[in-house]
Structure 1
Amino acid sequence: MAHQGEILQEAIKNSGISISKLVQELGITRPTIYRKFKETTLDYSFVQRVGELIQHDFTNEFDTPVQSQLHFTPAPVKQQPALRSVSLQPVDQDPAKALMTLQAKYIALLEAYNELLLKVYGSR
C-alpha cells in the first residue's frame, strides 16, 4: 500500500498541474515538495491545501487518525501581536503515537511560520 507522500505525489501527477506552479501557490520550494513525497505521514492541513489547489479530495485516501486529533490552526495575521492560548493534550501511553502527534504538530507550526513569513515579506 502506498504511503501518504506517494498518494499525494500521484494525485498531483494526475491533476496535470505542474510542480513549479504548485510550489509557487503553496509558498514552498521544490525540494520541500519532493521531501513531502517521501514522508509516510503528512500534516492534514498541508494535504488539504494541496487538495484545494489541485481540486482533489483526499478524505477517502488518507487514514488520518493522528492528524485529525490536531487542534492547531494558525492565527490570522493582525497588526497587533495576538496571544495564543495553549491547551494541554492528555499524554498518550503509546510512545510512537505520541511522537507522531508531536511531529505533526511541529510540521504544522513550521508551515504556519512559513506562511507568516510569506505574508510579512512576500515571495521572492
Structure 2
Amino acid sequence: MEHNAGEIIELAVRRQNVNISDLSRRMHVNRRTLYNWFKQRKLHTDVIIEIGKAINHDFSADFQNDFRGLGSVSAYKDESSSSHSDSVYYWMEKYISLLEDYKKLVQKGSHQKTLS
C-alpha cells in the first residue's frame, strides 16, 4: 500500500501543534496551498523538506525512498534554528528602534507643551 504524503505531512503538523496560519507565514505560502498539499498523494521532496524545516520535524523516516541519496536531513534543522535566531534579532532591533522613535515624539510633545 502506497503512503499518502499529504496525510503524513498533515499528521506531523498537527502533532507538532503548529497553527496552519503560522506555518503558511513561515513558508511564505497561503493557507489554501497547505491544505491542497495535505490532500495530495505525492509531494515533491523539496516541499516536504521545507515543511519539515518550518515545523522542526525530520521526515526522513516517513519518506525513506524519497530521501534516499539526500544525506542527513537533520542538517536542515540547524538552518531553520539559525533563521529563527536571525528573525528574533530582526524584531528585537525593530522594537528598539520603534521605542526610540516613540521616546523622541513624547519628548517633542512635552517640549511643545512647555513652550505654549
The TM tier, using the shorter chain, reads: 0.5 to 0.7
Alpha-carbon distance, 1:15 to partner:
0.5
Distance change >3 Å, CA 4–CA 53, structure 1 → 2: same
- Tell me by how many angstroms 1:34 deviates: 0.4
Distance 1:57 1:31, change over 3 A: same
Q: Which has the larger radius of gyration?
A: 2
Aligned twin of 1:44: 45
Q: Displacement, 1:53?
A: 1.3
* TM-score, with length taken from structure 2: 0.53
Equivalent residue of 1:64, what SS? helix
TM-fit CA distance, 1:6? 0.2
- 1:101-121 superposed Cα distances (whole Å, 9 cap, x missing partner): xxxxxxxxxxxxxxxxxxxxx
Superimposed CA distance per residue, residues 49-82 of structure 1 (whole angstroms, 9 cap, x where no aligned partner): 11111111000101327x979xxxxxxxxxxxxx
Amino acid at match of 1:64: D
Q: Which amino acid aligns with 1:11?
A: A
Q: What is the distance in 1 between the residues matched to 2:18 and 2:43?
A: 20
Is there any run of 5+ residues in structure 1 with no aligned partner, and where? Answer: 70-124
Q: Say if 1:40 and 1:52 are closer, same or farther in 2 by CA, change over 3 A.
A: same
Which of the pair has the greater relative contact order for Cα pairs under 8 Å at 6+ separation?
Answer: 1
Q: Distance in 2 between matches of 1:5 and 1:17?
A: 16
Equivalent position amino acid for 1:36 in 2: W
Partner of 1:55: 56
Structure with bigger helix share is 2
Aligned AA (2:66): T
Cα separation, partners in 2 of 1:68 and 1:44, compared to 1, 3 Å: farther
Structure 2: gaps of 5 or more residues:
71-116
Alpha carbon RMSD of aligned pairs, Å?
2.1
For 2:29, what is the secondary structure of its paired residue? Answer: coil
1:60/1:23 Cα in 2 relative to 1: closer, same or farther (>3 Å)? Answer: same
Give the Cα separation in 1 of the matches to 2:42 and 2:49. 13
What corresponds to 2:22 in structure 1? Answer: 21
Q: Which runs of 4+ in 1 moved over 4 A?
A: none
